[in-house]
Every structure is written in C-alpha cells, then in structure tokens.
Amino acid sequence: MKIVLDTNVLMNGVQDEYSVGHRLIQAVLEGKIQAAISHRIKRENELITRRELHDQEYIDLLDQFYQKAEWIRPLRQLHAVKEDHEDDINFPRAYARGFSPIQAL
C-alpha cells in the first residue's frame, strides 16, 4: 500500500500512540506500507512542529518518517481537497505513482 499523509494526520499520529495516524507512521517505519511526502508539506510540518511539539521523541519520530518516505515533487495543481487547497499540491504526482491520500476529517 502507498499513502500520502496530511499534516494533521502526521501531527496527531506522533502525539497519540493510539491513533490511526500513529499506526500508519509505524507501518511506514516498519516498511509495511510506503509513504510519499513533498518538500512543501515537510516545511508545513516543521513550522507546526516548532510551534506545537515540545517533546523531542515526537520530533524524532517525524524525522524517522521523513527518512523512510518517498520524496515527490507535485506536477500541477489539482483541486481534489475542497476544504484545504494547500493539500491539493501533493496529490497529482503521488496519485500518478499509485499513492492514496489519507487526510484527517
């Protein structure tokens, strides 16, 4: 399985060990599923991390996730996420490579 995780899913996943996001992150770290991430979403995560996360263990978990993820560069704008157009940036290339978006509701 190939996935793209929304920032909210990643942030919730590193803070809540019982969340679906955490299980997905662990599955990526264990090589059970493959994740894709763009530099833009990583920058967004880093901004939120600096503001919201104060536990080095959470920050380290995100760093491990980034090291395992496949880096992608969006090809074009796709309006697949009506509620948050910034999330649209990651989907075209990831979808073309067989990744599925997973987004917080």
pLDDT in tens, 33-91: 999 888 888 888 888 888 888 888 888 998 999 999 998 876 655 555 556 555 555 55
Q: How confident is the model at residue 30 (pLDDT cuts 50, 70, 90)?
A: very high
Residue 19 has pLDDT above 70, yes or no: yes
5 forms bridges with which residues in the sheet? 102
Instruction: Read off the pTM.
Output: 0.68
Identify the sign of the CA torsion 78, 93, 21, 67. Answer: negative
Comparing 105 with 25, the larger pLDDT belongs to 25
Name, in order, each residue with C-beta under 8 angstroms of 18's C-beta and a sequence gap of 6 or more: none
Query: In sequence order, what E strands does 28-93 have?
Result: 34-38, 70-72
Q: Ramachandran region of residue 98, left (φ > 0), alpha (ψ -120 to 50) or beta?
A: left
